[in-house]
Amino acid sequence: MQLAYIATVCPDTTQFSPYHILFGRHMNLPINTLLFKETNQQHRPKVQFYVNELTNRLQLIWKICNNNLSDSKRQMTQQYNLKTRQRKFNLGDLVLLKQNQIPADASRKLYRKFSKDIYYITKILPYNTFI
C-alpha cells in the first residue's frame, strides 16, 4: 500500500509523486520490470555525469514544486477567504469571551467554550479588537 502511495502523483499541490521529488525520477514499479526489460544494459552513464544530471534535475523539480505549492496555497487562501465575513460590532453590544485555555483535567467536549460573564463593547480599536 505504501508503495502505491509513494508512486502516486499529488495533483493539487506539487504535481509530482513523493518518490519523484526525492529521487528525481519515476519509480520503477514491479510491473514495469516485468513489462519493460532493459535491452541495453552495457550503455550506462558515467558516475560524475549521472550525479551532475541528477543534481540539475532535482533542483529543477524542487523549484517547480515550490512554485506549484505557492500557487496552490494562494488558491486555497482565496477559496477560504470567500467564506469568511467581516464581523461588525457597535459600541454597547453584548459579547461573550471565548476561552482558549482549557484546564488539563477538564474534558474538551464538556468544558464551556465561552466565559460566564457578558461584556459590553466600550471602545473599538483598529484591526477588529474591542474592549
**pTM of the predicted model as reported, rounded to 2 decimal places:** 0.49
Output the DSSP codes for 78-107.
HHHHHH-------TT-EEEEE-----TTS-
**129 has pLDDT over 70:** no
CA distance 49 to 46: 5
CA dist 70 → 6, 11, 80, 82, 98 (Å): 22, 14, 15, 18, 33
- Ramachandran quadrant class, 36 (left: phi over 0; alpha: psi -120 to 50; beta: rest): beta
Quick: pLDDT tens for 8-56: 777 677 777 888 887 887 777 777 777 776 655 556 668 788 888 888 9
At 17 the pLDDT is: 80
The mean per-residue pLDDT over the stretch 52-71 comes to: 90
Q: Which pLDDT value is given to residue 28?
A: 77
The DSSP code sequence of 30-70 is HHHHHHS--S--S----HHHHHHHHHHHHHHHHHHHHHHHH
Cell matching residue 111: 468544558
Cβ-contact 57, 21 below 8 angstroms:
no
pLDDT digits (tens, 9 = 90+) for 84-125: 777 777 888 888 888 888 888 888 888 888 888 888 777 777
d(CA 49, CA 112) in angstroms, rounded, equals 64
